[in-house]
Structure 1
Amino acid sequence: MSLIILIFALVFTTELISWVGKTVLLEIFYSLYLRIFYPQNAAKQRELKTEILNNKAELLKTSAQDQFAKWAKLRRTVDKGLSDLEKLNSEISTVKSAFSMKFNTALWVSTTGVQFVVTWWYRKSAVFYLPPGWFGPLQWTFALPFAPKGAVSVGMWQMACRRVIKVGERMVKEFASERPDTNAEETAEKSKTS
């Protein structure tokens, strides 16, 4: 893979992750992780929630004054279910915090860390060369910090890629936010007044 495409892919991946959001990705991968490595805890949590909701619904239907024995038994069942659920949630929370730390570390290493390594490794390499005289005396700035004169350095190429991707993201968001039905209503109103 050429250096120009590698750097663009790394920057695009990093920006895509920031656009989607780390918390969204964390929740997706955590739910997958929980179902693969802790299926009994996830299943038990779902069962407890369902059981508690069913018992609460029955408790609400039961009169505390007319059927006190049944109401008290249901109340104890709901309370026990809630305490079991709280204990299970704390266990799952511990697993989630450990997973979150590992996931954020892996995400940082695979995006930002790799960009640092690539920038350092290819710091004296040219991504590509500019035609002579295109930018006049400013041409040396594209080679900063260590690339040969007349070339575009890895750092400058990363900045250019990031800027183009950000502009593209903004254009997509603006395009997506425009609603065609709103423009059709405005056109219809203008034709009525004309």
Structure 2
Amino acid sequence: MATDTLGEGAASACVDAGGGAIGLPQLCPDWMGNQIVWLVIALIVIFFILSRIALPRIAAVLAERQGTITNDLAAAEDLKEKASDAEDAYNKALADARAQAQEIIAEAKAEINAELEEATQKADAEIAAKAAEGEKAIADIRANAMESVKEVAKDTAKELVAAMGVKADARTVTSAVNSRLKG
């Protein structure tokens, strides 16, 4: 009990005559030294426990987290660089594909124009050949028409001469018709 530490018959301001505490015993100035000693001992024990066990573990966890964060940042930077390189390669490939498409389009246009020019020349040649054939046919028809006109003129002249009662030979009629047709 509290009175045992004070000795027999000693009275304390914190203990009543029956040996019970008056007020809060923690605030009793007679016991304050004893409480401070135990407080210091408890703090020293807590400090050693924290510094030897808890703080190294916390420091290890913090160092591990810092390492993980640093590694993750380095990996993210590397991935960012790779993504940038991939984007550059994609843009280059896209530009190359567009250029190649333009070349293919230009080649196709040139090929189509060449085929069109060839077809146009072939059609022009066919048209010229048909026109020449048409002109030849017209010339033949004209020549035949002139021959037919000569024949009709000869026959008509022979009939007219015969109708007049004169007999004309074929040679005379032919020379008369030919001289008249010439002008």
Q: Do they fold alike, i.e. is TM over 0.5?
A: no
TM-score by length of 2: 0.30
Higher relative contact order (CA 8 A, sep 6+): 1
